[in-house]
């Protein structure tokens, strides 16, 4: 190895070490579990990083943030230990924190997504059904039902454990009568003409389930209904793109770019296919619409 290459590797290792320990400091600073000495040292890291404001967070927010920060650390530890099922291997708290983060997308959808999808606002006001594929802990399903008071959301997932958490989320919400949970693999969906809107998150679905599932989800739409396919946002820095793809593959999901996502929607017979702009930090989203029968 040349000297410049060795120096580059050293810098890479140093940056990685600092990032992982800074994340650990954030988690410990937000939790009560650490010793007083560890707490103080962890806070010093945050202060030096300009993040001392987290000390003033409320207990709920601090707990959620700690779980969110710890999740990738636990995930990579599981990956390096050779454990499969990275999503399911997380603690309940981490799953719930991630669910909360994905639920925030519902408000963004109401503001920016819905007005872009012809006819959907009217359908939502008129007692439509939405399909939430990979509903996880149900936080996003509940958020949609709360935002749209005439909408019924059907959430499907393959994991009984996350569905049990979802059932708790739904029971504790004010929209329990409009959120239906079902243990089902998207690749076995056999409903037709049912949904005005369906959400499919490619980064969390294995390639075989996605390939089999998207045409079935397309078929489950009512005429004029929309399928929204979440996928990777690539085209930034080469490192960000590669890390994004690596994470998706490690999760057992499917890394699609805009063109691949659009092609998948077109192959499912959908029309008006396009990739819509999304805010920084959100996944890329491609949409397609069920045409009238020929």
Q: Which residues bind ligand SAM (CB under 6 A)?
A: 87, 99, 102-103, 133-140, 156-159, 162, 185-187, 201, 204-205, 209
Q: What are phi and psi of 168, to 5 degrees?
A: -65, -45
The CB-of-188 to ligand SAM minimum distance in angstroms stands at 8
The CB-of-238 to ligand SAM minimum distance in angstroms stands at 26
Q: How far is CA 258 from CA 140, 239, 252, in A?
A: 23, 18, 19
CB closer to ligand SAM, 45 vs 67: 67
Q: Which of 229, 167, 181, 224 is nearest to 204 (CA)?
A: 229
Residue 165 makes CB contacts below 8 A (sequence gap 6+) with 92, 95, 96, 99, 137, 138
Look up residue 116 and give its two tokens.
């872009």
Whether 261 contacts 202, CB under 8 Å: yes
- Which neighbouring-strand residues pair with 226? 197, 289
CB closer to ligand SAM, 87 vs 197: 87
CB closer to ligand SAM, 24 vs 159: 159
CB closer to ligand SAM, 53 vs 84: 84
The CB-of-90 to ligand SAM minimum distance in angstroms stands at 10
Q: How far apart are CA 199 and CA 176, in angstroms?
A: 20
Which residue matches tokens 């997308």? 105
CB closer to ligand SAM, 170 vs 273: 170
Whether 187 contacts 208, CB under 8 Å: yes
The CB-of-197 to ligand SAM minimum distance in angstroms stands at 14
CB closer to ligand SAM, 64 vs 99: 99
CA pseudo-torsion sign 127, 131, 135, 139 = negative
The CB-of-161 to ligand SAM minimum distance in angstroms stands at 9
The CB-of-162 to ligand SAM minimum distance in angstroms stands at 5
CB closer to ligand SAM, 45 vs 144: 144
The CB-of-29 to ligand SAM minimum distance in angstroms stands at 26
CB closer to ligand SAM, 224 vs 252: 252
The CB-of-280 to ligand SAM minimum distance in angstroms stands at 20
């Amino acid at each position: 190895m040349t000297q410049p290459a060795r120096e580059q590797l050293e810098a890479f290792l140093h940056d990685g070490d600092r990032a992982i320990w800074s994340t650990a400091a954030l988690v410990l600073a937000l939790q009560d579990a650490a010793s007083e000495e560890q707490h103080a040292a962890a806070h010093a890291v945050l202060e030096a990083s300009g993040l001392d404001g987290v000390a003033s967070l409320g207990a709920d927010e601090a707990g959620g943030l700690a779980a969110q920060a710890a999740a990738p650390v636990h995930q990579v530890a599981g990956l390096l230990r050779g454990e499969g099922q990275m999503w399911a291997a997380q603690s309940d708290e981490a799953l719930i924190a991630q669910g909360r983060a994905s639920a925030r997308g519902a408000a963004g959808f109401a503001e920016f997504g819905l007005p872009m999808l012809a006819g959907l606002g009217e359908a939502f006001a008129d007692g439509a059904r939405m399909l939430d594929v990979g509903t996880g802990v149900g936080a996003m399903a509940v958020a949609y039902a709360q935002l749209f008071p005439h909408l019924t959301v059907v959430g499907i997932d393959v994991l009984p454990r996350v569905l049990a958490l979802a059932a708790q989320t739904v029971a504790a919400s004010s929209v329990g009568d409009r959120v239906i949970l079902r243990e089902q693999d998207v690749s076995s969906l056999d409903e037709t003409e049912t949904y005005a809107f369906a959400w499919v998150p490619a980064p969390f679905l294995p390639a075989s389930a996605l390939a089999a599932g998207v045409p079935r989800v397309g078929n489950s739409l009512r005429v004029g209904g929309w399928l929204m396919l979440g996928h990777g946002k690539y085209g930034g820095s080469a490192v960000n793109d590669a890390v994004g793809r690596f994470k998706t593959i490690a999760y057992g999901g499917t890394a699609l770019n805009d063109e691949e996502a659009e092609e998948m929607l077109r192959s499912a017979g959908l029309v008006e296919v396009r990739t819509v702009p999304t805010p920084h930090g959100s996944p890329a989203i491609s949409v397609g619409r069920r045409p009238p029968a020929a």
